[in-house]
Structure 1
């Protein structure tokens, strides 16, 4: 098996695994929905009691066996080999919709290479500043392609299909040489999300009403802890985050 050239590449690869939709998108939503700072209390408890042990278990298992997500369990205990197949199925299902979201991002990226964003303004002097141009309605909104119901699949969208192909191609060339290629890619892919999050944070705290949002997290409503949805919500979020990266951490450490 391949080896990392240095420890920095491994640390960056793990840091890149931490950043995902679950942290950037789902966590703030659940935190706001379940009482702000009050949600952090059960989340931190579950993180210390479950998240950290699972993290070290996965990395230690990968380092000890130097095997993949399936064969590592065969080396430890053949009876547990089914765990490897189960995690493989989980990763396969996650890749199906994660790559779609990446294709959406590529589609929006291509549409951003214009002098003015097509959905930013209207350009007609008789309209207000909150309207958008017809270009945004014609080119951007149809990307959703919402059908009448789940029973109607809809037509194939070639522009999104090409973006999906581009997403898979990028992923392939990022890992096709194992740690030799991945180790170089993570210098960009692992640091860029943190830089963007810092930019969004600075932008967010400078917007009107940002102080109210900060107070919502700093002064939690402790009474929300009695809500039966807060604790399970924190546990489910942590289970989703750790389960999503379970096989990835094992393979990276192997």
Structure 2
């Protein structure tokens, strides 16, 4: 999916954003006025994801602070938040050394155990780890379902407020301030991953975990859902069709080698994922060894892996608070990178649409941050995790695929792949005929066909949202579909508005006019004579080039890192 969809789309968006020096809204208004809604659709996707994504950063902050203790709070079953199903394997091991039986958070002597037949009861009981109980009942205070919203969890709400304060502080001065922060947030996770890798592979059971990780199940390649999940993961990893790549690349110098950037970031993303898998599965193998179960019974995904399985693992390591702190700081820096791009995409779109706000960039970022915090409050309630999983399933799935397909077809067929490749060669220099033919085939046929295939089979194999054994009600899935197709409705609405706004001409003539790039479409340096007349510290869109794209050669280096989201 990286080769067929991720890399081609990333290269396409880096190139067009750098070429035009514009954010997605103004870019599509000039590039293809009929589909200006694509820019708005991208902004909507980024806005929705921005709301719930920062909640995950808030969870990470919560755990980071909780790790500042001599003893991790989820090492044992605390009566304050645990249920009768909570089973501390550490306490059970300690009880076993005394020849006792651990049951219902109590160590019973062998005589009592035999009299009450506790050994059999322990074997048949439903066990939940302290980390599981801590996350669900103490951190989330989870309700029975999305129908039971419950009160706001103030520790989570305050963590969310802190997350937004951090994001605002890093972006308040625009891309100049965020670019410096990204040097740390993009590189620090590698330091932690390397440290944790050497610690993980030395643990007992690590070999079994790694073997389980690298052993393929070829039959799963016949399931469209696997390919769909891979496509969604690539879209999350590289961020095509979200507007972020276009936004960030618009700050690049005109002659920056965006082709090299796309290849480096795509390959490093995949290699980092593979390496991270060795880190994660080495410690999962260790936990399987400790629990005396098969690796597949330990594996989880999403929040379960990050906030249940891994905390349970680090609780069993020597100097547990240190490993927990490092792990959650790593998650925090990874999450902040993504959130930076999402917020920058939204604020750039606002500044592009309302140029008079450019001098008040800080207040725009503040306003978007306040909106993001208030919009994220629903995710800090007792039903917040259900809302998060619902949005996560629908917000950036079908609509992103549709936007990517439309974008790919517009550039390769309406504008012309050869014409676009000629524009790219003006920026990065001439390339061979084989190079031109390869990318022309990718953009015109292979990439859109792959995306259509995934979209089609995702609809065929669609299943309503569920969380474990909990099935979301019909009204919740209806809300999910509204969120999913909101960008599509905007795209279609803008299309009809554009058609109706032309004063005269037949429908065919209107289509021809609106599918043709405007006269002011062209490379950024086309308006270089305007450079010294009007611009601000952040560079100006909407027809006036950005200062930074010409005067700051370090921008392309910085944003090579930031586009690695």
TM-score (norm 1): 0.70
Are residues 1:72 and 2:36 paired? Answer: no
**Change over 3 Å in CA distance of 1:77–1:108 after alignment to 2:** same
Aligned counterpart for 2:188 among listed residues 186, 192, 195: 192
1:154 corresponding residue in structure 2? 150
Q: Distance in 1 between matches of 2:210 and 2:61?
A: 32
**Conservation of the 8 A alpha-carbon contact between 2:170 and 2:178:** yes
- TM-fit CA distance, 1:245: 7.1
In terms of mean alpha carbon deviation, does 173-182 or 230-239 score higher?
230-239
**Change over 3 Å in CA distance of 1:68–1:129 after alignment to 2:** farther
Q: Distance in 2 between matches of 1:60 and 1:117?
A: 48
1:249 corresponding residue in structure 2? 245
Q: Distance in 1 between matches of 2:145 and 2:136?
A: 21
**Change over 3 Å in CA distance of 1:221–1:109 after alignment to 2:** closer
- TM-fit CA distance, 1:140: 8.5
- TM-fit CA distance, 1:238: 2.5
**Change over 3 Å in CA distance of 1:139–1:179 after alignment to 2:** closer
- TM-fit CA distance, 1:154: 0.8
Gaps of 5+ in 2: 79-89, 95-104, 106-129, 251-565
Matches within 5 A, 1:43-62: 46-62=1-17
2:485 corresponding residue in structure 1? none
Indicate the structure (1 or 2) with the bigger Cα radius of gyration. Answer: 2
1:128 corresponding residue in structure 2? 92
Aligned counterpart for 1:81 among listed residues 25, 28, 36: 36
**Conservation of the 8 A alpha-carbon contact between 1:104 and 1:160:** yes
Q: Distance in 2 between matches of 1:52 and 1:244?
A: 9
Are residues 1:103 and 2:58 paired? Answer: yes
Q: Distance in 1 between matches of 2:75 and 2:12?
A: 47
Deviations 1:30-89 (A, max 9, x none): xxxxxxxxxxxxxxxx21121111111111121111122211211222222111111111
Aligned residues: 206
Q: Distance in 1 between matches of 2:28 and 2:230?
A: 29
**Conservation of the 8 A alpha-carbon contact between 2:239 and 2:245:** no
Q: Distance in 2 between matches of 1:183 and 1:237?
A: 25
- TM-fit CA distance, 1:105: 0.9
TM-score (norm 2): 0.33
Aligned counterpart for 2:171 among listed residues 163, 171, 175: 175
Are residues 1:212 and 2:226 paired? Answer: no
- Taking only aligned residues, the RMSD between alpha carbons, in angstroms, comes to 3.1
**Conservation of the 8 A alpha-carbon contact between 1:119 and 1:140:** no
**Conservation of the 8 A alpha-carbon contact between 1:54 and 1:242:** no
**Conservation of the 8 A alpha-carbon contact between 2:136 and 2:142:** no
Deviations 1:132-158 (A, max 9, x none): xx9x97898422111122111111122
**What secondary structure sits across from 1:128 in the alignment?**
helix
**Conservation of the 8 A alpha-carbon contact between 2:5 and 2:231:** no
**Conservation of the 8 A alpha-carbon contact between 2:18 and 2:249:** yes
Deviations 1:100-124 (A, max 9, x none): 011111111122222222222479x
